[in-house]
């Protein structure tokens, strides 16, 4: 029996949190050499002849090839949002055939970068396929593209009506009951969307509500050089310079041009716990302090902080380690060991380690003509240990196992997130065991459905500019500057000219409305 908690939440959607730009540069949207354009046959395209771009290294069986191999079987189309890693489709279908399944599968991945050659996001490309009557049976919700998409992919696909409700499959079919038993119930609660469950994802635990961010300092260097953690970094610039001359200053490979997006700021808007509202990141004390320190250490004005000890291991010798996406609070009173080195943690951004619903999932396309077969395959892929490892790692020739852990594999980076069930799949180096994941899940709080979530649709143009139109002007201002104060004010004015204040005002309007409704 499935017990589904009904969420009570406001009708707002997720904002895609900006990724950290380490050694930032322009995002190239030209197709890589391994992208091919496939002309769909009339059987699979509804007679439209619609041309779709897919990316992969060549080990994808086409729909026609699968049909020729299995002319008497139903051919299912599994839609994926990225495709540079091979999938051993031939071996997958051979295994399905050995089980006596009356279906085979064709994997169809789309281009794995911000927008495809037509300037469409994955969501928009899926809509085109559906509108053209092309076959999709199993579908991954993919990722959001800020400035094009709004909200989490799972929410968006549910709202568009592209996903079939799975509750009856989970309760009334043998495959569904096995699938439900294979994944902890707390994870199922994280898939509830509106009136039920529309997708599943088992390669990671549910996300935490809000990540913590820290600056971690090498405790040995703090003690050796007399660095005062209660003072700002720039106020101790002489000590910082001395450390930089003798050691690596920062463990992360990040240059000055990555500064705008540090600590996962939402379009330069920063939620201040003290003020209980969104403020400009320029109004936070740590941002200008770190930026000024970087500026002072970058004597060549090329964006990089020099060091005489670049050959030393990063983590063991670096003074600063930036930690942006920490799920659980760290000790800020006593040093924490990292790679055998004690570090003091300075809290920059307060988080919330409660669990929240998943933002992406894999489900059954509501337009599929083969829903029963599609669900059977989806359930089997997450309950059959051999099939799950075959999808993630490939055949035994593709990977190396030491002490039950996969130590080397070229396919698993993308395929793990696509297909893995962490409770049956062979772990990779550094992963928890299945028992470890269950302990973490049991220790976590309940799923929170009523968290504040930003809907950026009314300020989408400004959000788009803040995401994509900052790097080049920043580099020009920085390289041509003669002093930090002039540069910083010029940069700040430019960011505000893109609409930062409008974004902050809209975020605060939504937050106030949400808070008053609680």
Residues 435 and 417 in one domain: yes
Q: Pseudo-torsion of CA 430, 435, 437, 439, nearest 10°?
A: -130
The residue ranges of DSSP E strands in 151-243, in sequence order, are: 192-193, 196-197, 208-210, 212-218
Instruction: Name the residue range of residue 362's domain.
Output: 43-207+358-443
Predicted confidence (pLDDT) at residue 312 exceeds the cutoff of 70: no
Residues 50 and 164 in one domain: yes
User: CA 74, 78, 82 angle in degrees (round to 5)?
Assistant: 155
- Under the banding of pLDDT at 50, 70 and 90, the label for residue 255 is low
Residues with Cβ within 8 Å of residue 385, at least 6 apart in sequence: 424, 425
Pick the closest to residue 177 from 423, 379, 420 (CA basis): 379
Does an H or E element contain 97, and which? Answer: helix 89-98
- Cα–Cα distance measured from residue 325 to residue 204, given in angstroms and rounded to the nearest whole number: 15
Residues 254 and 198 in one domain: no
Residues 380 and 307 in one domain: no
Could you say which of 417, 443, 469 is where a domain stops?
443
Could you say which of 425, 443, 461 is where a domain stops?
443
Greater confidence (402 vs 132) lies with 132
Spacing of C-alpha 487 from chain mean position: 33
Residues 311 and 374 in one domain: no
Predicted confidence (pLDDT) at residue 9 exceeds the cutoff of 50: no
The reported pTM is: 0.68
Residue 272 covered by a domain? yes
Residues 275 and 366 in one domain: no
Pick the closest to residue 356 from 13, 121, 122 (CA basis): 13
Could you say which of 325, 354, 383 is where a domain stops?
354
Q: What one-character DSSP code corresponds to residue 32?
A: P
Q: How would you class 431 by CB atoms within 10 Å of its CB: exposed for 0-12, middle for 13-18, buried for 19 or more?
A: middle
Number of domains in the chain: 2
pLDDT at 150: 63
pLDDT at 460: 86
Instruction: For 81-114, write each residue's pLDDT tens digit.
Output: 866 567 899 999 999 999 999 999 999 887 544 4
> Which range, 47-51, 136-140, 229-233, 438-442, has the best average confidence (pLDDT)?
136-140
CATH number where 397 lies: 3.40.190.10
């Amino acid at each position: 029996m499935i017990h589904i908690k009904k969420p009570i939440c406001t009708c707002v959607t997720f904002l895609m949190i900006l990724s950290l730009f380490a050694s930032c540069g322009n995002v190239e949207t030209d197709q890589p050499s391994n992208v091919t354009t496939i002309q769909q046959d009339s059987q699979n395209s509804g007679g439209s002849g619609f041309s779709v771009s897919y990316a992969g290294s060549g080990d994808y069986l086409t729909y026609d090839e699968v049909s020729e191999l299995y002319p008497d079987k139903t051919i299912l189309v599994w839609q994926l949002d990225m495709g540079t890693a091979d999938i051993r489709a031939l071996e997958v279908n051979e295994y399905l055939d050995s089980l006596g399944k009356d279906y085979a599968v064709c994997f169809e991945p789309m281009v794995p970068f911000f927008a495809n050659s037509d300037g469409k996001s994955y969501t928009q490309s899926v809509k085109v396929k559906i509108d053209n009557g092309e076959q999709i049976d199993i579908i991954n919700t993919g990722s959001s593209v800020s400035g094009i998409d709004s909200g989490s992919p799972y929410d968006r696909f549910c709202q568009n009506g592209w996903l079939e409700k799975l509750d009856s499959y989970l309760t009334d079919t043998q495959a569904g009951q096995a699938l439900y038993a294979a994944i902890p119930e707390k994870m199922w609660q994280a898939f509830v969307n509106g009136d039920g469950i529309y997708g599943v994802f088992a390669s990671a635990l549910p996300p935490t509500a809000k990540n913590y961010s820290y600056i971690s300092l090498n405790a040995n260097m703090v003690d050796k050089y007399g660095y005062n953690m209660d003072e700002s970094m720039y106020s101790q610039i002489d000590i910082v310079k001395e450390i930089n001359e003798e050691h690596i200053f920062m463990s992360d490979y990040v240059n000055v041009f990555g500064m705008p997006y540090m600590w996962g700021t939402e379009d330069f808007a920063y939620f201040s716990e003290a003020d209980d509202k969104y403020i400009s990141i320029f109004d936070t004390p740590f941002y200008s302090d770190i930026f000024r320190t970087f500026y002072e250490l970058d004597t060549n004005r090329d964006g990089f902080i020099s060091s005489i000890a670049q050959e030393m291991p990063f983590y063991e010798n670096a003074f600063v380690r930036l930690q942006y996406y920490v799920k659980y609070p760290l000790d800020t009173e006593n040093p924490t060991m990292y790679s055998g080195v004690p570090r003091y943690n300075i809290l920059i951004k307060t988080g919330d380690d409660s669990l929240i619903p998943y933002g992406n999932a894999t489900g059954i396309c509501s337009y599929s003509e083969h829903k029963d077969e599609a669900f059977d395959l989806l359930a089997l892929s997450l309950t059959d240990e051999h099939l799950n490892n075959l999808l993630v790692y490939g055949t035994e020739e593709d990977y190396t196992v030491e002490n039950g852990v996969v130590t080397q594999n070229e396919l698993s980076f993308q395929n793990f997130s696509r297909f893995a069930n962490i409770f049956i799949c062979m772990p990779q180096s550094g992963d928890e065991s299945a028992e470890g994941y269950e302990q973490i899940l049991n220790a976590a709080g309940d799923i929170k459905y009523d968290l504040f979530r930003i809907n950026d649709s009314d300020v989408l143009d400004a959000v788009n500019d803040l995401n994509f139109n900052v790097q080049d002007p920043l580099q020009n201002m920085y390289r041509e500057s003669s002093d930090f104060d002039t540069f910083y004010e010029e940069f700040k004015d430019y960011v505000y000219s893109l609409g930062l204040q409008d974004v902050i005002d809209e975020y605060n309007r939504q937050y106030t409305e949400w808070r008053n409704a609680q």
